[in-house]
Structure 1
Amino acid sequence: MPSYEKAAVVQKRMAERLAEVLAELSSFYPRVLEIGAGTGFFTRAAKERFSWSLYLACDLLPECACFLEPLGVHFVVANGEDPSWVRGTFDLIVSNAVFQWFEDLGESLLALAERLSPGGFLAFTTFGPDTMREIPREPPPGLLSLPRLTSLKPPGLEEIRAFRWQEVLYFEEPLAVLRHIRETGALGGLPTRWSLRALKAWQQSYERYKLEKGYPLTFEPILVIWRKVG
């Protein structure tokens, strides 16, 4: 996880942008539930920008506790994709760079919407299909376009924000691109084992993307915020 904390530059920018937009909507969210809190990128960004009475963060990895508990939030090891364990309702349910991993995002969004208080917000960032466009592969199924994501809006929720943007990282060599993908667990669609021949071929093919700044790797972050009517 320390390698992720250092390498996940785009995920950190996404967290900060999500926290900034939420701070524009309110300076206080009484009850907050964060899905897939990880090492606390969003949690820290939120703490700098708005306040709450209760903050419950969940993640599948127990080791996330050492990042989150010092921030003064409650942490539980739980699966955010199936929030049947959640008790009560929340004024903000939020997730940063996690939903691309869900197998059935539509069902998860419906379940999360049921756990919103009237007037509560469901806010998230995720990655779109243009992410890692330099990597020749079929886009992973979890990378949904903005129109597809907005079509999954649960009944009873209204759209507050929905937009996409582009982030580009530059690396000194193609191998550094591979290291970044490995350290962040990003959706690269690449093999876990390489023969020397395959690795050299991949490096040669990546040469065509070289720019003055270095070798680019493109990301398509998407930000969506819905509010429960009532």
Structure 2
Amino acid sequence: MQDEYSIDKSRMRQSFHRAAKRYDAAAILQRQVREEMLSRLDVVKLKPGVILDAGCGTGHGLNALLQHYKSAQGIALDIAEGMLSRSRTLFPWFRFWQSKPRFVCADIESIPLATGSVDMVWSNLAMQWCNDLDAALQEFRRVLRPDGLLMFATLGPDTLKELRSASGADHTHVSRFIDMHDIGDAMTRAGFNAPVLDVMHYTLTYDTVESVMRDLKAIGAHNATAGRPKGLTGKGFLQKLRQGYEVFRQQGKLPATYEVVFVHAWTSSQPYTAPGSSPIQLMPRKAGVAV
């Protein structure tokens, strides 16, 4: 039986593709999280040669990273071609200190890059769209070189708790988000060293439920779960949503809570080996022994 929270990647891709042109105007949380992630790099000792922005959106994260690491080359990866098209507009055809980034349309659960080809993987609020967190983290580990850095932010279980409560339990109106401790366990399984995780809560405020839904639509965050209602929700559902959300109104505003999990970890100094495999060690032949 299919998990009702499984993400329909085709629907997700279409949603983000359509939202690309208006994304930046509504991406308030994404901007705040990006600035927090960038501030954490101030204490990180790293001079990456190649940076992968996994789930790059409209490219502002990679643009900021290439300003920070001026000798680095960038790779912008996103599942939606519309997002990549917007990303391309941020970068001139050339800069005197570095070449134009590469743009790759792909799913972060299956990255079409060579093993050990990047020094840093960065991902701002994209991991919550994975169906298989272990697969995505294993791909990050695979493409990273020894002593490489993974830094990402994703959404935790308290995200949109008001909307989840107001919408009821008839369908999966809000995606399921992974707890910080489960993410930490997955990081260890993927082979990352001593992952560091912490949580911050952000609250955006709105006048109406319709404004909440409008912002989610503007950033492409449509309900893409397998258990979503397949027909039109209708006026009855919207009325129920308004009534259910009103209990959360404070000081005249409706809150939308986001739990953001920040993660960073390093790869070991050893080259990547696939799960279940081990490197073959060749012993030197002793002098005078015929083989």
TM-score, structure 1 normalization? 0.89
Query: Structure 1 stretches (4+) deviating beyond 4 angstroms?
Result: 187-192
Structure 1 residue aligned with 2:192? 157
Structure 2 residue aligned with 1:171? 206
Is the Cα–Cα contact under 8 Å of residues 128 and 222 in structure 1 kept in the other structure? yes
Is 1:147 paired with 2:170?
no
The one-character-per-residue Cα deviations of 1:94-131 (angstroms, maximum 9, x if unpaired) are: 21111111111112211220221111011111000100
Is 1:86 paired with 2:120?
no
Structure 1 residue aligned with 2:37? 18
- In 1, the alpha carbon distance for the partners of 2:136 and 2:53 equals 14
Is the Cα–Cα contact under 8 Å of residues 29 and 51 in structure 1 kept in the other structure? no
Structure 2 residue aligned with 1:224? 263
2:247 aligned counterpart, secondary structure: helix
- In 2, the alpha carbon distance for the partners of 1:156 and 1:62 equals 31
- In 1, the alpha carbon distance for the partners of 2:257 and 2:85 equals 31
Structure 1 residue aligned with 2:135? 107
- The unaligned stretches of length 5 or more in structure 1 are none
1:197 Cα deviation after fit: 2.4
Is 1:128 paired with 2:159?
no
Match of 1:57 among 61, 76, 85: 76
AA of the residue aligned to 2:129: W
AA of the residue aligned to 1:78: A
Work out the number of aligned pairs and report it.
Answer: 228
1:120–1:79 CA distance, 2 compared to 1 (3 A):
same
Is the Cα–Cα contact under 8 Å of residues 43 and 68 in structure 1 kept in the other structure? no
1:65 Cα deviation after fit: 3.2
* Structure 1 vs Structure 2 CA RMSD: 2.2
2:108 aligned counterpart, secondary structure: coil
AA of the residue aligned to 1:103: N
AA of the residue aligned to 1:194: T
1:223–1:187 CA distance, 2 compared to 1 (3 A):
farther
1:180 Cα deviation after fit: 1.6
1:47–1:224 CA distance, 2 compared to 1 (3 A):
same
2:53 aligned counterpart, secondary structure: strand
Is the Cα–Cα contact under 8 Å of residues 203 and 256 in structure 2 kept in the other structure? yes
Structure (1 or 2) with the greater strand fraction: 1
- In 2, the alpha carbon distance for the partners of 1:23 and 1:178 equals 35
1:52–1:105 CA distance, 2 compared to 1 (3 A):
farther
Pick the structure with greater CA Rg. 2
1:133–1:187 CA distance, 2 compared to 1 (3 A):
farther
- In 2, the alpha carbon distance for the partners of 1:184 and 1:35 equals 17
Amino-acid identity (%): 23
AA of the residue aligned to 2:138: L
- The unaligned stretches of length 5 or more in structure 2 are 1-19, 92-99, 270-291
The one-character-per-residue Cα deviations of 1:74-112 (angstroms, maximum 9, x if unpaired) are: 1122222112x2124211012111111111111221122
1:131 aligned counterpart, secondary structure: coil
The one-character-per-residue Cα deviations of 1:119-151 (angstroms, maximum 9, x if unpaired) are: 10111110001000102256633x101101000
> Mean alpha-carbon deviation: is it higher for 88-97 or for 150-159?
150-159
TM-score, structure 2 normalization? 0.72
Structure 2 residue aligned with 1:204? 243
1:52–1:34 CA distance, 2 compared to 1 (3 A):
farther
AA of the residue aligned to 1:123: M
- In 1, the alpha carbon distance for the partners of 2:198 and 2:254 equals 26
